[in-house]
Structures are given as structure tokens and as C-alpha cells.
Structure 1
Amino acid sequence: MVRDVADTGEHVTNQPQGFGMRMIVANMLTSYDSINYDRAGYLNDLRCVIAKFMGREEPRHGDTGPLLEIFRRRTGDWHEVDGGTIRMKMYKKGTCHIQVHPDMAWRLNAVLASLYPLAIPASFRTKPKARAKSHKLFGRPLPFSVINLLHSMRSEPCTPTRTDRWAEPRPPLTDCKWALRFDYGNHSAVVQEEAERVLAMIGGVRRNKNAHVWFDFDYNARPVLDEIVLSGCIPDQKAHQFYPTSVELGTQLIELADIGPTHRCAEPQAGVGGLADLMPKDRTRCIEISELHCNVLRAKGYDVTQADFLEWAETTTERFDRIAMNPPFSEGRWQSHTKAAGRLVADNGNLTAILPASAKGKDLLPGFDHEWSSVIDNAFAGVSVSVVMLKATKQ
């Protein structure tokens, strides 16, 4: 199986004696511009072996189809696949370029060496000294069953529909034009629960009426779902400290900010825009490190800067009249993020922030007037944490 993938095609970059940095597989598309599933089987075999290395369940036959469907719509661009273990690019004529992460290529060659000890040169069996800069490894990829369920989501009608020509039109369950629901078919409750968690992280609001479940979005979520299907990942909650701000908490914070008709606003560590959604869109800058979250924010129509906020705050000359933020809490990071944001507040502007309850009463920002709310318990879903709101006005 592995040998077949390594020996695919007759391109000069392919190396039948082992896996290298790049392979080329031709004819991934048929003459009718449809997926060539015979050729896709080579890629599926490769993904099966890599999944074993990652301690992940193997993709089933046909699970590579959704991946290639997206490639067909996005020809000519490189994409990170399966947590960064593979990079791929498809051309219009159906040729696929595949780059295997050096660590994975070395492991694959070790498998080949055990099968064909005299056929694999020593150079292919040497562990790489350093990772290639072009590759990045994410956290644990989502199960293939969850990815396929997300890929197969259907639009939930937002206009009256007929089941047949004689029936009365059935009123829609939602007026959201970007609402999505799961496709028909059997899928386990565990798989659906994981898929629903992903949808919530990208801004989906779960609705349920008469046992019919769908998700309302305030933007077109399909391009973002495509990114998840390609990478197999969503931002790691612990690494990114991503705990979405509830509408109730966000509304209180934005009311505290007292945004006027000419104020320029910003949300650092914006996530999917829980606070920005409550601020004037045409005057709000979002700063966010996660590429996936930036795609969500751009789809919503925000002015987005993809950057580590602390690094960006050190170099930018921009200043804002209102900054609203829900910074990461772990290891005291909220202090450095709050101080960095304070440097970006214009004269007579203010910063409003959701901070851990232990911050209350501290003189965090010299030269600012501090106002504190009462302590709010259990502020974030799934996390037992008490918070307080700060309004710091620059004099």
C-alpha cells in the first residue's frame, strides 16, 4: 500500500526508492472534471498510514473525496491537510502535488525499509534534523467521521417550501439565509456532539424545534467549513485560550464602553467576533492569531489583522477610541494583554475588559481612571471561573 503511493506516476520529482519532500499524482480528475476515485485511492492509502502514526482512526474508502472536491474549487493553491502532516495543491488539469511533512516522510520510509531493507537508501532512513519551515503541525485533528458530517451539511430553507405540488407551502423554521443542518442519514450521537462543538466555535447558534436541529449563522459559513475539512483541525482551546464571550456578558461590556457615532473601535484576541458583533462593523478592527478565526471574521465583513496581539501592539502606530476585550487568563496573560491594549487607547478613550475576579481593585493602567463591576460567577460555558468587568478611561 505504502509502496504504491511512493511509486505513483512518472514525474521526475517522484522517487520510487522512498518518500521525499514532494510527490506528484496525475489524473486526479477525469475528463468529465469529476473526481477520479481510483487515483484518489492512492492518497487515501497515504492518509491511512499517517493516521496510524498519529494515533487517529483511519479514513474510510471515499473519505478523501470531500478533500478533492474542495481542491477542485481552489486549484493552484497550497493547503495544509490532516493537521499539517501533508500539504497539497491541485491544478486544473487534475495533477496533484503532495508534500509530506519531513517527520512523517521519515516514518513512512522506515516502514518501507522494514519491508524492503535492501531497496531503501540510507539517506531516506535518516531522521530529519529540523522541521521544514513550510510545514506546521497543529493539535489533534478531528475524527474523519466528524469532518465528513460537517462537509455534508445542507442549507436549512429560510423561505416556504412544498413537499409536493398539491400541499400547502410549509413555513420555514428560520429566517436566517445562512442556516445549516446536518444531512439525512445515520450518525452517532458522539459524532454529532463533536460536530456541534465545532459549529459553536465558528459562531453557529443551535436551534431546535420539534426535534429538528439546525444552526443559524450571521455569515456564510461554508468557506470556513471547507478550511476545517482541509486542515482537519480547529484552534486548540487551551493553546489559544478561546472561550467565547456570551451575548449577555458581551452586551454588558459594550454598554459599559459607551461607543459614540464617530469612535474607532478594536477587539484584540477577537476569536469569532463575540464582542465585535456588538460594535459598529464599519469602524471596528479585529486582531486575531488563529487563521481559521480570521476567516470567520472576514466572512462577517470585519477589518481583520492576523497577528499575535502582543507583538502587533509593540509596532503599530494605530490608536483607538474604544477597545473591548476578553483576553486569555492563563498564567497571568490577561495582565500583559490588558497593558498592551492600554497603550493603544487614544486620549479620552476607554478600554473595557472581562478579567479574572482577582484583578478587581488593582491599578492596572497608570494614567487611567478604573471602574469595576461586581464579580460575575461561572461566566463561560464549561469553565468554572469568576470574572469582573473593567472600564479604564484614559485621561
Structure 2
Amino acid sequence: MKIDADVLEIIRSARCDGPILFLGGRLEGSLYQRVNLALSAVGGKWDRWKRGHVFPANAADAIAGLLAEGEVTTDAERGYFPTPPALVDEILDLADIQAGQEVLEPSAGTGTMAQRIADRGGLVDCVEVDQGRADIIRSQGYARRVTVADFLTLPVAARYDRVVMNPPFAKQLDIRHVQRALRWIRPDGLLVAVMFGGLTFRTNVLATDFRSQVREARGTIQPLPDHWFKGIRTVLAVIPVRSQLPELTRGRTVMAKVSEQRSSQDALF
């Protein structure tokens, strides 16, 4: 998202004190909303008690790239839709996480799901593409490891008893993330994922192959009530892993390459 010149000027003139950014004065409604959207995209969250935007780390460092480039990537552009806390418990119940199990959360966001996993005694490792959100997880101390990366680029480095995830939905990335995550699971493990509802009716190769994969694994794809993600139809996929899947060559199979080519026109956004 390109940032308007008036928004950049307001952010440039703001005062930073450690992790807090203080705006120069009261802004009218629509202008404040645009400023807040830009600051939120780089990890800032308004705190009415502190009267400023609080960042996971140094505020000046957080906005440096924004000011230099004049643009940010918003959560919607990333296809990031945070998991509602009440839904997290339902997901973890389905995953049947036991104390001492090793659990991967490969699209960890700000850690809502990962923290509940730790509360249940799980040993949780997190992957998060956004540095600001990863810093939030690290600051809480419940995750065993936090890796800042695009999950699709990571080689399989460990095997887990459970994977729970809410991957990005844009351009069918959720399917690719889940297929990738299945290769991180030990035999007799389980994956539970929030996914975009379009996978249940799309007819491209990527979607049809994925539905077949779930059926062969004796997994399920169940619709979620509309109220969980406003304006977005979602499903919950539960996929058991009977035997260990091999690592992919360069992160994807030949079929995945074909699927990607044939589904290039099926972008969600």
C-alpha cells in the first residue's frame, strides 16, 4: 500500500520514545484512520493509556522503512486474518494437544494460538513472516523457538507431533502452506488448519488434488460459521498423517508446479 504524502509527513514529525510513537496532535477522523493503518502495518498499536502507538521494539526503527520507501504491506494484502481467541480453543481441542508434545505453528501471527498451545503444555515452535509480530511472540517467552521467514521457503528442519495453523488465504496460498506443513509431521501426527472456503468448490488442479489428498488421508474439511471471519468464508481442515512424507525438491513437487501454472488465474484477490 502506497502511503499518502500527508500521512508520511505526520509520521515523520511524530516523536518516538523507545517503543512508543506520539503523534503531534489530534487528527481528524479519516486522516487518523490512514495514519493508524500505516502504523499498524509495521507493528504499532494504539494504547489509550499511554496516549501513543506502542511497538514491539524501538518505534523509530519500526517506522524507518515506512518513511524511506513510502509504502507498507497491510495485513489484508498479506492475506492475514487473525484467529479469533474463541476459535483457538476449538482448533486445539480438535488437535488433541497433550503436554510434552512438539507443536509447530507456521503462520503464528501475534501468537494467540501458540500461547494457548503452551498453556496446554505443548512445546511450541513458531514461524512468522512479519518481524513485528515475531517480536511480540518472543517478548512473551512461551515459544521454544521463533523463526522470522516465509514458511514456504523453509526446508524441513524438524518433525512435529502436531501442526496447527491459520495460513494466508490469498492466491490459494493456504493450500500450499498446508501441503508444505504436512511434511513437517511425524507418523501418527495431526494437522488442523483454518483455510479459505473456496477450496471446497474450486475446480483447478491445486484445489481438486488437495481435496483428494485429504480424502486419502481420511481427513475432514468442515465449514466454519460465518461469524468467525467477517466477510470471509472459511473451513477447518483436519488431516491425520499416517506415515512420514518426504521433503519436497526445492520446496514443491512437479505436480505443484503444474497446479501453480494452471491456477494462476484463480487468485482470491
TM-score, length of structure 2 as denominator length:
0.66
How has the CA–CA distance of structure 1 residues 221 and 347 changed in structure 2, closer, same or farther, with 3 Å as cutoff?
same
Task: Using the TM superposition, give the Cα deviation of residue 373 of structure 1 relative to its aligned residue in structure 2, in angstroms.
Answer: 3.3
**8 Å contact kept, 2:217–2:241:** yes
How has the CA–CA distance of structure 1 residues 189 and 321 changed in structure 2, closer, same or farther, with 3 Å as cutoff?
same
Task: Using the TM superposition, give the Cα deviation of residue 283 of structure 1 relative to its aligned residue in structure 2, in angstroms.
Answer: 1.6
Q: Secondary structure at the match of 1:364?
A: helix
* Amino acid corresponding to residue 168 of structure 2 in structure 1: P
> Structure 2 residue aligned with 1:389, among 232, 236, 251?
236
Do structure 1's residue 377 and structure 2's residue 250 form an aligned pair? no
Residue segments in structure 2 that go unaligned for 5+ positions in a row: 202-210, 243-269
After TM superposition, list the pairs within 5 Å mapping 1:338-357 onto structure 2. 338-357=178-197
**8 Å contact kept, 1:146–1:194:** no
Paired position in structure 1 for 2:9: 144
**8 Å contact kept, 2:110–2:133:** yes
Any idea what the Cα deviations from partners look like across 1:294-337, whole Å, max 9, x if unmatched?
Answer: 3333233332112221121xx22301111111112222222111
How has the CA–CA distance of structure 1 residues 55 and 285 changed in structure 2, closer, same or farther, with 3 Å as cutoff?
closer
Do structure 1's residue 298 and structure 2's residue 138 form an aligned pair? yes
Q: 1: distance between equivalents of 2:133 and 2:124? A: 16
**8 Å contact kept, 2:18–2:57:** no
Task: Using the TM superposition, give the Cα deviation of residue 351 of structure 1 relative to its aligned residue in structure 2, in angstroms.
Answer: 0.6
Say which structure is richer in helix: 2
**8 Å contact kept, 1:367–1:394:** no
Q: 2: distance between equivalents of 1:203 and 1:366? A: 42
How has the CA–CA distance of structure 1 residues 224 and 366 changed in structure 2, closer, same or farther, with 3 Å as cutoff?
farther
> Structure 1 residue aligned with 2:57, among 208, 223, 238?
223
**8 Å contact kept, 1:339–1:364:** no
Paired position in structure 1 for 2:74: 236
After TM superposition, list the pairs within 5 Å mapping 1:180-195 onto structure 2. 185-195=25-35
After TM superposition, list the pairs within 5 Å mapping 1:270-281 onto structure 2. 270-280=108-118
* Amino acid corresponding to residue 229 of structure 1 in structure 2: I
Q: What RMSD in Å do the two structures reach over aligned CA positions?
A: 3.6
Q: Secondary structure at the match of 1:252?
A: helix
Any idea what the Cα deviations from partners look like across 1:110-137, whole Å, max 9, x if unmatched?
Answer: xxxxxxxxxxxxxxxxxxxxxxxxxxxx
Q: Secondary structure at the match of 2:212?
A: coil
- Greater relative contact order, per chain length (Cα 8 Å cut-off, separation 6+): 2
Q: Secondary structure at the match of 2:218?
A: strand
Any idea what the Cα deviations from partners look like across 1:77-132, whole Å, max 9, x if unmatched?
Answer: xxxxxxxxxxxxxxxxxxxxxxxxxxxxxxxxxxxxxxxxxxxxxxxxxxxxxxxx
Paired position in structure 2 for 1:310: 152
How has the CA–CA distance of structure 1 residues 246 and 55 changed in structure 2, closer, same or farther, with 3 Å as cutoff?
closer
* Amino acid corresponding to residue 125 of structure 2 in structure 1: R
Q: Secondary structure at the match of 1:226?
A: helix
Q: 1: distance between equivalents of 2:158 and 2:86? A: 29
State the structure with more CA Rg.
1
Do structure 1's residue 57 and structure 2's residue 13 form an aligned pair? no
Q: 2: distance between equivalents of 1:326 and 1:190? A: 31
Task: Using the TM superposition, give the Cα deviation of residue 262 of structure 1 relative to its aligned residue in structure 2, in angstroms.
Answer: 1.0
| Percent identity for Structure 1 against Structure 2 | 20
**8 Å contact kept, 1:353–1:389:** yes
> Structure 2 residue aligned with 1:358, among 198, 215, 235?
198
How has the CA–CA distance of structure 1 residues 223 and 377 changed in structure 2, closer, same or farther, with 3 Å as cutoff?
same
**8 Å contact kept, 1:269–1:326:** yes
